Amino acid sequence: MSEAKKKAAASAIVDSVESLDALFVTVRAAQQQYASFTQEQVDAIFRAAALAANHARIPLAKMAVEETGMGVVEDKVIKNNYAAEHIYNHYKNTKTCGVIEEDKEFGIMKIAEPIGIIAAVIPTTNPTSTAIFKCLMALKTRNGIIISPHPRAKASTIEAARIVKEAAEKAGAPAGLIGWIDVPSLELTNTVMKEADIILATGGPGMVKSAYSSGTPAIGVGAGNAAAVIDSSADIVNAVSSIILSKTFDNGMICATEQTIIACKDVYDAVKAELIKRGCYFLNDEEKDKLRKTMLINGALNAKIVGQRPCIIAKLAGFEVPEDVKVIIGEAESTGVEEAFAHEKLTTILGMYKAENFEDAMDKAEQLLVNAGGLGHTSSLWIDNVKERAKIDAFAERMKTCRILVNTPSSLGGIGDLYNFKFPPSMTLGCGSWGGNSVSENVGVKHLLNVKTVAERRENMLWFRTPEKVYFKKGCLPVALDELKNVMNKKRCFVVTDSFLYKNGFTKVITDKLTEMGIAYTVFSDVEPDPTLRSAQLGAEAMRKFEPDCIIALGGGSAMDAGKIMWVLYEHPEADFLDMAMRFIDIRKRVYTFPKMGEKAYFIAIPTSSGTGSEVTPFAVITDQETGTKYPLADYELLPDMAIVDTDLMMSAPKGLTSASGYDAMVHALEAYASVMATDYTDGLAIRAMQLIFRYLPTAYEDGTNVKAREKMATASTMAGMAFANAFLGVCHSMAHKLGAYHHLPHGVANALLLTIVMRFNACEKPRKMGVFSQYQYPHTLERYVECAEACGVTGKDDQEIFENFLQKLEDLKAAVGIKKTIKDYGIDEKVFLEKLDQMSEDAFDDQCTGANPRYPLISEIKEMYLEAYYGEKK
Amino acid sequence: MSMQSFRMPEKLYFKQGCLPVALQELVDVYQVQRVLILTDEVMLHNGRLAPLTGALYDMGLDYAVNSESFAADCVIGFGFAQALDRAAAFAGDKPFIAVPVSAGGQMSIPAWRKADMFILDEDVCVPIPAGEICSHIAQTARASLAGANVSDYTLALSVQALRILFDKAHTTSALLHAAAMAQLAYTTARSDEVPTDNLFEDAAEALGMSVTELENQINSAVTAQHT
Ligand SMILES: NC(=O)c1ccc[n+]([C@@H]2O[C@H](COP(=O)([O-])OP(=O)(O)OC[C@H]3O[C@@H](n4cnc5c(N)ncnc54)[C@H](O)[C@@H]3O)[C@@H](O)[C@H]2O)c1
Ligand SMILES: [Fe+2]
């Protein structure tokens, strides 16, 4: 279209689909230009337009009343002023252009973009103020707007739009940004809704419905039907005058206006007397019936009574009331759909109900919403807001309305900013899904913008945590315990261990020392291997009786884990065990907030085997004796306060325990190193642990009396524990947990049988799925394993060869410490193994250790690995 | 020697931008309301305090800076070694949070020893030339390998620090962590007693080099800044 044609189109009368199409072209061109305006330019235009509209508030009010024959000039002046001035003040500093929010630290930025062209449907009840409001909203958000006026209010609506348009253009807005239909018709309204980019529809339910059915995204708002509940505690004088003020405002045409009063029985008469005193008229039965017939015609509101004064309404109904009556009131009992007084009236008529009590008042308010309309819109409550908080809460919970106003005239209160200054001002009030709307708030600029979020990749915060104190060196136990008396002044100590260790005198060093220091103690020695919840509960019970201020857990993983669980149950008897056992990926984002530990007792862990690392980890594994399910608990609250690693306690460990737990420590180090959550701190510890295990595990296994080998293994196991306490484990442990549980293999052995197969799986440079963690950028597990290999003295001509040699070295270590090659070698029946395989694979996939593995496994891949570990070759 | 120990701050948090995230624990875990910040005089004027005070403000906590009469229920030391030394001494039984700005250089040893939470955020650190950081790592690691309380724990940390230092492709951010690890090792390993053990040989072996090679590499890193 040529410039000249465009101009002609812009000034042409819009009365047909063709002229409307031409208008769209003009508005769109203007909007595209406007879309690049800066916040500063936009704000200047917004300001100029608001000023102009405010300036014209009186002529516009007069015009609206004259044209529609509804409402009150003075009140419409206030509405126009509100739509211009309050809206301006509320949004003048709001950012709506370009970057509206930025947080560099968290790497997030929000960018506001206009939507395009708004189709604005304007009602007869508030023609000029709604037009001003929507045009200003469009200007502030860099949108174009085409107004579809109501036929009965078109002149005043268009005039309001024209004033805003001219002021905006004078202030620099592109010409033609604001347009309207001159001769409205259903066809044109439907066309404008179809062609626009978003619909902002205010009006009756029929119109809102057609907006939502147009196929264009729509913000439509529903009908109101506010009931004002007056509680016995209310300030009646204030309530009555406020309701009258609200109800008479523009002759009751704001959608949030009170339509009924529900007063509690004990104050009903007082409310009624006050209403009469302040100029309300109570209808007799005959008048009520006449009015009912006039109000609703075939169930629809009679447009003639809308926005009228009582004397005029009475005349229409065929009776008389004095000129100065403010509101006509019909007392009613039924809250059903057939009762006209129950409906929205948009005029100076109120229905009034008597409630037995507050509960009944809420029932009635609810019935009115459901039966007579207004769901999602507004509710009002008059009450003593200091003493009756509980009732306010109950009311807020019960009402399915998006505005719940307390001690506030609902018409002026509902549109916001007048009686509550945090409540955004709007002439378009969303009613949520209850009202069939897409918005449940007062519609504002944010609903007219497309907001883009630019989220940059950020890495998670990392951490390194260990017990506050770790003591080690052969013979350190009694020395370390000195602190209990000297520094901590502990009085009562509870020792947890298993029966074997107790019977063989392992606890004697501790109890002798406690006696020497004069600390009272008791020993609980009923921990079984793979401790059950039942035994932990028994222990916690004993703790509650003994009331220790210090707990010492002595033993292998089983006793230390049992001690940790008893500690939780002792400190927090109310804690829900199943909640705590929830799976996690990031320990700090757990759904369950772990109870805070250490308020009652200080926790010391003393290992007697070298492997689990439990003395320095925030984990504990516990078995439910009923179902056999193993629950891994994980939270840094479970981290012991002190760990004492004394080699004296490990000298007698039998060969099987030494090899299985020693190999477990190797797997801890390797999985922590390959984990997606590995850090430099965990890497350093893990590598040292591997070096020590390769060097000293065979000796510790062959010659248990070799102090240096035992000592180095103890250190290696604790260091590997520190590494996986912070970097977590991987799928080898996931699979070992389930293999151990299904086929009763020792934990360390189960791990050893799977390790090299899992490593080969992880080392793949083209994994089907890679692990998810922000720090983990690309599959590099092969490189990581090669780093370990080289630190352990493995050589080769390239990475692949070094890796293969490393796997061989790990297999050699296995053989050297008497661990067999395959699962089959441990005498597990092939048929039984295959029967359980599918379930075992699925369970292993779901194990919490899977989350930190560098390669995200498929269940089928886990199954393949199990098969390979069973037969010793790929199947 | 009948007993050795490895001491760590209860919580060490790190990674660029972690300060506000870690501080969230003040509310979530420690439940404090009034925070005393002890910092160096220069910090009052150079704007470096803003990320800290901004985070406290966002969490709705009351705070005061360098005003020891403020009735605080938590102490944050923010700054160079001197301010952190002072904060560590002042904290008493209150939760003590250390936020050094000198990662890569000399950090407060009392802060490492006493902090409940130690926060290493590169965003708040004062930039130090890479050569200086390298030299610092080399010196600290060497000192910690010869400390009286050396152990496999401190060895693991100082060797890892050296591993990063010797890696030609290291980033500045990796160097900062290496420096922190070396410091951590040194803080534990160092003791006023005369060294009884020397883990130089073990360290060399762990790094896959000879003792002479290790010494040479350390020496050249120490002096690198002067060339
Ligand atoms: N919390 C963790 O981080 C973690 C890590 C790995 C494993 N675990 C758990 O630890 C448990 C396995 O622990 P474990 O391997 O230490 O076995 P364990 O604690 O069950 O001990 C095995 C047996 O060895 C005996 N024993 C222990 N020390 C001995 C010694 N010095 N001399 C002679 N006998 C000794 C015990 O009395 C017991 O009969 C499993 O329940 C496993 O789930 C926990
Ligand atoms: Fe394990």
Predicted confidence (pLDDT) per residue in A743-769, tens digit? 999 999 999 999 999 999 999 876 666
Q: What percent of chain A has pLDDT over 70?
A: 95
Parallel/antiparallel/unpaired status of strands A144-148 and A178-180:
parallel
pLDDT at A277 over 60: yes
- The conformational region for residue A833 under phi > 0 = left, psi -120 to 50 = alpha, else beta, is alpha
CATH number for the domain harbouring residue A490: 3.40.50.1970
Instruction: State whether A537 and A622 are in the same domain.
Output: yes
CATH number for the domain harbouring residue A191: 3.40.605.10
Minimal-distance CA residue to ligand 1 atom 13: A557
- Could you tell me if the CB of A417 is within 6 A of ligand 1? no
Largest separation between any pair of C-alpha atoms in chain A: 114
- Could you tell me if the CB of A619 is within 6 A of ligand 1? yes
Instruction: State whether A590 and A670 are in the same domain.
Output: no
Instruction: State the DSSP string of A439-506.
Output: --SB--GGGGEEEEEEE---PPPEEE---SEEEESTT-HHHHHHHHHHTT---EEEEEEEHHHHHTTT
- Could you tell me if the CB of A611 is within 6 A of ligand 1? yes
Using CA atoms, how far apart are residues A561 and A554, in angstroms rounded to an integer? Answer: 10
CATH number for the domain harbouring residue A761: 1.20.1090.10
Instruction: State whether A238 and A214 are in the same domain.
Output: no
Using CA atoms, how far apart are residues A217 and A554, in angstroms rounded to an integer? Answer: 67
Q: How many CB pairs under 8 A join A and B?
A: 112
Minimal-distance CA residue to ligand 1 atom 37: A500
The residue count for chain B:
227
Among the partner-chain residues B15, B152, B157, the one whose CB lies closest to the CB of A461 is B15
Instruction: State whether A705 and A621 are in the same domain.
Output: no
Using CA atoms, how far apart are residues A419 and A231, in angstroms rounded to an integer? Answer: 20
Residue A803: domain span: 652-875
Is A846 in contact with A585 (CB distance < 8 Å)? no
Q: How far is CA B92 from CA A592, B87, B99, in A?
A: 32, 9, 17
Q: What are phi and psi of A114, to 5 degrees?
A: -70, 165
Among the partner-chain residues A461, A790, A793, the one whose CB lies closest to the CB of B22 is A461
Tell me what the mean pLDDT of segment A30-39 comes to: 96
Largest separation between any pair of C-alpha atoms in chain B: 56
Classify the C-alpha dihedral A246-A251-A252-A253 as positive or negative: negative
Is A497 in contact with B44 (CB distance < 8 Å)? no
DSSP state of A344: -
User: How buried is residue A515: exposed, middle or buried, by Cβ count under 10 Å (0-12/13-18/19+)?
Assistant: exposed
Asked if the structure places residue A289 within a domain, the reply is yes
> Cβ contacts (< 8 Å) between B18 and chain A: which residues?
461-462
> Cβ contacts (< 8 Å) between B12 and chain A: which residues?
463-465, 681
Q: Alpha helices of chain B — where are they, by DSSP H?
A: 19-28, 43-46, 50-58, 81-91, 109-114, 130-145, 152-166, 172-189, 200-206, 211-224
pLDDT of residue B196: 55
pLDDT at B194 over 80: no
**B16 and chain A in contact, CB less than 8 A:** yes
- Could you tell me if the CB of A632 is within 6 A of ligand 1? no
Q: How confident is the model at residue B90 (pLDDT cuts 50, 70, 90)?
A: very high
- Could you tell me if the CB of A650 is within 6 A of ligand 1? yes
Class of domain B11-124 as given by CATH: alpha beta
The answer to whether A465 contacts B11, with C-beta atoms less than 8 Å apart, is yes
Reported ipTM:
0.91
Atom of ligand 1 nearest to the CA of A564: 1
Q: Poorest-confidence range of A220-224, A242-246, A513-517, A846-850? A: A220-224
Is B88 in contact with B78 (CB distance < 8 Å)? no
* Ligand closest to the CA atom of residue A665: 2
pLDDT at A715 over 50: yes
pLDDT of residue A247: 94
Our CA-based measurement puts residue B161 at a distance from the nearest CA of chain A, in whole angstroms, of 8
Is A479 in contact with A606 (CB distance < 8 Å)? no
Asked if the structure places residue A9 within a domain, the reply is no
C-alpha of residue A501 to centroid of ligand 1, in Å: 11
Is A315 in contact with A304 (CB distance < 8 Å)? no
**B2 and chain A in contact, CB less than 8 A:** yes
Using CA atoms, how far apart are residues A805 and A791, in angstroms rounded to an integer? Answer: 13
Strand partners, A379: A404
C-alpha of residue A840 to centroid of ligand 1, in Å: 23
Is A643 in contact with A752 (CB distance < 8 Å)? no
Q: Which residue has the higher pLDDT, A529 or A137?
A: A137
pLDDT of residue A191: 94
Q: How far is CA B25 from CA A584, A732, B115, in A?
A: 19, 33, 14
pLDDT at A696 over 70: yes
Q: How confident is the model at residue A1 (pLDDT cuts 50, 70, 90)?
A: very low
- Could you tell me if the CB of A649 is within 6 A of ligand 1? yes
Q: Is A255 a catalytic residue?
A: yes
Minimum CA–CA partner of A482 in chain B: B3
pLDDT at A868 over 90: yes
Q: For an interface test with B, give the residue of A464, A469, A479, A615 to mutate (most B CBs within 10 A).
A: A464
Asked if the structure places residue A108 within a domain, the reply is yes
Residues 6+ apart with CB under 8 A from A687: A669, A673, A787, A788, A791, B156, B159, B160, B206
Closest CA to A118 of A451, A449, A453: A449
pLDDT of residue A589: 57
- pLDDT tens digits for range A733-742: 999 999 998 9
- Could you tell me if the CB of A740 is within 6 A of ligand 1? no
- Averaged pLDDT score across all residues of chain A: 91
Q: How far is CA A770 from CA A459, A460, A726, A848, A858, in A?
A: 17, 18, 20, 16, 11
**B151 and chain A in contact, CB less than 8 A:** yes
Among the partner-chain residues B13, B156, B208, the one whose CB lies closest to the CB of A463 is B13
Using CA atoms, how far apart are residues A390 and A381, in angstroms rounded to an integer? Answer: 13
Atom of ligand 1 nearest to the CA of A623: 41
Using CA atoms, how far apart are residues A214 and A192, in angstroms rounded to an integer? Answer: 10
Atom of ligand 1 nearest to the CA of A740: 43
Q: Poorest-confidence range of A91-95, A323-327, A572-576, B81-85? A: A572-576
Asked if the structure places residue A322 within a domain, the reply is yes
DSSP state of A770: B
Residues 6+ apart with CB under 8 A from A718: A470, A472, A607, A613, A615, A616, A643, A645
Instruction: State whether A684 and A631 are in the same domain.
Output: no
- pLDDT tens digits for range A190-212: 999 999 999 998 877 777 788 88
Instruction: State whether A502 and A631 are in the same domain.
Output: yes
User: How buried is residue A535: exposed, middle or buried, by Cβ count under 10 Å (0-12/13-18/19+)?
Assistant: buried
Minimum CA–CA partner of B14 in chain A: A462
Q: Poorest-confidence range of A134-138, A327-331, A434-438, A803-807? A: A434-438
Using CA atoms, how far apart are residues A366 and A226, in angstroms rounded to an integer? Answer: 10
Instruction: State whether A72 and A171 are in the same domain.
Output: yes
pLDDT at B189 over 60: yes
Q: How far is CA B81 from CA B44, B66, B113, B134, in A?
A: 16, 15, 13, 19
> How many degrees, rounded to 5, is the angle at CA A263 between CA A401 and CA A416?
40
> Cβ contacts (< 8 Å) between B189 and chain A: which residues?
none
> Cβ contacts (< 8 Å) between B2 and chain A: which residues?
473, 475-476, 479
Q: Of these residues, A97, A255, A264, A402, which one is catalytic?
A: A255
Asked if the structure places residue A441 within a domain, the reply is no
* Confidence (pTM): 0.79
User: How buried is residue A372: exposed, middle or buried, by Cβ count under 10 Å (0-12/13-18/19+)?
Assistant: buried
Classify the C-alpha dihedral A268-A269-A270-A273 as positive or negative: positive
Instruction: State whether A133 and A249 are in the same domain.
Output: no
Using CA atoms, how far apart are residues A426 and A447, in angstroms rounded to an integer? Answer: 12
Our CA-based measurement puts residue A735 at a distance from the nearest CA of chain B, in whole angstroms, of 29
CATH number for the domain harbouring residue A273: 3.40.309.10
Classify the C-alpha dihedral A676-A680-A681-A682 as positive or negative: positive
pLDDT of residue B226: 46
User: How buried is residue B208: exposed, middle or buried, by Cβ count under 10 Å (0-12/13-18/19+)?
Assistant: middle
DSSP state of A105: T
- The conformational region for residue A527 under phi > 0 = left, psi -120 to 50 = alpha, else beta, is beta
Q: Which residue has the higher pLDDT, A303 or B225?
A: A303
**B113 and chain A in contact, CB less than 8 A:** no
The answer to whether A468 contacts B123, with C-beta atoms less than 8 Å apart, is no
Is A309 in contact with A252 (CB distance < 8 Å)? no
Q: Of A603, A629, A650, which one is at a domain's C-terminal end?
A: A650
Domains in chain A, number: 4
What b-and-e string marks burial along A207-218, b requiring 16 or more CB atoms within 10 Å of the CB? bbebbbebebeb
Tell me what the mean pLDDT of segment A356-376 comes to: 93
Tell me what the mean pLDDT of segment B191-196 comes to: 52
Asked if the structure places residue A421 within a domain, the reply is no
Instruction: State whether A524 and A673 are in the same domain.
Output: no
SS3 at position A835: helix
> Cβ contacts (< 8 Å) between A463 and chain B: which residues?
11-14
Using CA atoms, how far apart are residues B211 and A465, in angstroms rounded to an integer? Answer: 32
Using CA atoms, how far apart are residues A158 and A143, in angstroms rounded to an integer? Answer: 18
> Cβ contacts (< 8 Å) between B160 and chain A: which residues?
680-681, 683-684, 687
**B163 and chain A in contact, CB less than 8 A:** yes
Instruction: State whether A392 and A483 are in the same domain.
Output: no
**B178 and chain A in contact, CB less than 8 A:** yes
Instruction: State the DSSP string of A657-704.
Output: HHHHHHHHHHHHHHHHHHSTT--HHHHHHHHHHHHHHHHHHHHHHH-T
What are the sequence ranges of the domains in chain B?
11-124, 130-224
Instruction: State whether A277 and A336 are in the same domain.
Output: yes
C-alpha of residue B154 to centroid of ligand 2, in Å: 24
Our CA-based measurement puts residue A470 at a distance from the nearest CA of chain B, in whole angstroms, of 5
- pLDDT tens digits for range A677-693: 899 999 999 999 999 99
Using CA atoms, how far apart are residues A266 and A775, in angstroms rounded to an integer? Answer: 67
Using CA atoms, how far apart are residues A636 and A166, in angstroms rounded to an integer? Answer: 66
pLDDT of residue A585: 55
pLDDT of residue A3: 54
Is A712 in contact with A696 (CB distance < 8 Å)? yes
- Please give the structure tokens belonging to residue A604: 């010391």
pLDDT of residue B227: 42
pLDDT at A104 over 90: no
